[in-house]
Amino acid sequence: AQSVTQLDSHVSVSEGTPVLLRCNYSSSYSPSLFWYVQHPNKGLQLLLKYTSAATLVKGINGFEAEFKKSETSFHLTKPSAHMSDAAEYFCVVSDRNSWGKLQFGAGTQVVVTP
């Protein structure tokens, strides 16, 4: 079985300050992990993915995430928030037993203030 817990339902940051979105996962097998972003009334856009290569993963728009197996975590960070980063962010897990089925977390709403 696989599951994802996003530890914060809402995060508010000031423009130009760092962003940290926390995610813990559970998987019976070596997982693949993803972060997706969803802007209002839009579909989901892939930010980055971890697939058992380098534990520090760089994605689009300056985001990066670090896979920590000992902590079963996959936190998403960005050094400096932009107004355009305001959106819903989903941490997602998949494993080889799930045939590509994605298990989503509940999401973290990010608000960026000027």
Partner 1 sequence: DAGVTQSPTHLIKTRGQQVTLRCSPISGHKSVSWYQQVLGQGPQFIFQYYEKEERGRGNFPDRFSARQFPNYSSELNVNALLLGDSALYLCASSSRTGLMDQPQHFGDGTRLSIL
Contact residues toward partner 1 (CB under 8 A) are 31-32, 34, 36, 41-46, 49, 51-52, 90, 94-96, 98-107
Structure tokens at 87: 């959106």
Nearer to partner 1, 5 or 15 (CB): 5
CB of 44 to partner 1, least distance (A): 4
Name which of 14 and 101 has its Cβ closer to partner 1: 101
Question: Least distance (Å) from partner 1 to the CB of residue 90?
Answer: 6
Q: 44: which 2 tokens?
A: 């989901």
DSSP reduced 3-state for 21: strand
Q: Where are the beta strands (DSSP E) in 2-72?
A: 2-6, 10-14, 19-21, 23-27, 31-38, 44-50, 56-58, 64-68
- Report in angstroms how near the CB of residue 103 gets to partner 1 at its nearest: 7
